[in-house]
Amino acid sequence: MNEQRQRLKQRLASGSTVWFAGAQDALSALLVDQSAFDGVFTTGFGISASLLGQPDMELYTLSENLGVVDHIANVVSKPIFADADTGYGNVLNTQRTVRAFEKAGVAALSIEDQVSPKRCPAAATASITLPLAEAVAKIHAAVDARRDPDLLIVARTDVMDAQEALDRAAHYAEAGADLIQPISRTFSSYDDLVRLRETCGRPLSLQLMEGTWMAALNRAQIESVAGFATYPIVSLLTVVQALRNNLEALAARRGEPMGELPCPRATMADFKHLIGWHELEQRQAHYELGSTSGKR
């Protein structure tokens, strides 16, 4: 059994809300891990942008997504909530996806009910969802695929009609989903989330995207309905704007002293501490100097 998964599941069962921040690569995940957030969310939107420089339309593969998640799992100590998109195919593909992410060490993963390849509803004008029976079958398959019962399955519905979303949420819960994740465009108020929570009988997983009504909810409202509360792309968009501002300023003064730039930078000493430079130097010296002195 994975102790991290056990603790996360116990915390969810206690009624607490777990707060996640998004990461698109191992470096951003390290920063989340060293912050006051409870865990790391591996955002598919961010991974597609960071890895491919392309939008979240499921252009990257299971293996590419998993590769990033595996790198993240290698450097963080907090629980990982992974974006597993549509499961990358049918019920059998979904089962393979669940087992692969479970093996990588994630504590939770989300499966959405769009057709594959999907389009991120935060950016797309429209999304196409699976028929209800097929979507329910995928959640059932995902639940059956996990070898560790403490791995949490989050079922996301991208349907736009509120009543249909309520119906799907109830079916996904019945199929074994541990949490239900709505998209902000389907509902319009806190009362809608309360109704969704009561209908499905499961805690919600909320994605708090800047500019959406969900992000304007207060903490008490969020924690009354949500088991997971996530800021998925703040780190991604922060990096984009900071790089854009500094590169523009730096390019304008090429050949001149660098001076101050619009966005502050970490010092080299701080950066080396962040990525564990000194710890690896010490480990290398332990083995290499130990070998040369005859120590074993």
- Return the exposure string of 174-195: e unless at least 16 CB atoms fall within 10 Å of the residue's CB, then b: ebebbbbbbbbebbeebebbee
Q: Are residues 167 and 275 in the same domain?
A: no
Q: How many domains is the chain built from?
A: 2
Round to whole Å and give the CA distance between 68 and 80. 12
Is 200 an active-site residue? no
> 273 and 135 share a domain?
no
Of the residues 12, 82, 108, 120, only one is catalytic, namely 120
Residue-wise pLDDT for 223-253, tens only, equals: 999 999 999 999 999 999 999 999 999 999 8
Q: 246 and 121, same structural domain?
A: no
Considering the domain architecture, whether residues 70 and 142 belong to the same structural domain is answered as: yes
Residues 212 and 144 in one domain: yes
CA–CA gap between residue 149 and residue 185 (Å, rounded) = 32
Residue 268's alpha-carbon distances to 173, 236, 272, in angstroms, are 48, 21, 6
What is the full DSSP assignment across 171-192? HHHHTT-SEEE--TTT--SHHH
Range of the domain at 256: 240-292
Query: Does the structure show a pLDDT above 70 at 75?
Result: yes
Residue with more model confidence, 236 or 260: 236
Res. 291 pLDDT band, cuts 50 70 90: low
Q: Which of 9-18, 111-120, 217-226, 279-288 has the lowest mean pLDDT?
A: 111-120
222/248 same-domain check? no
Average pLDDT over residues 2-9: 93
160 shares its domain with 79:
yes
pLDDT tier for residue 296 given thresholds of 50, 70 and 90: very low
Least confident of 34-48, 159-173, 219-233, 282-296: 282-296
The pLDDT of residue 181 is above 50: yes
Q: What is the pLDDT of residues 116-141, one digit of tens each?
A: 887 776 656 667 899 999 999 999 99
Split at pLDDT 50, 70, 90, the class of 257 is confident
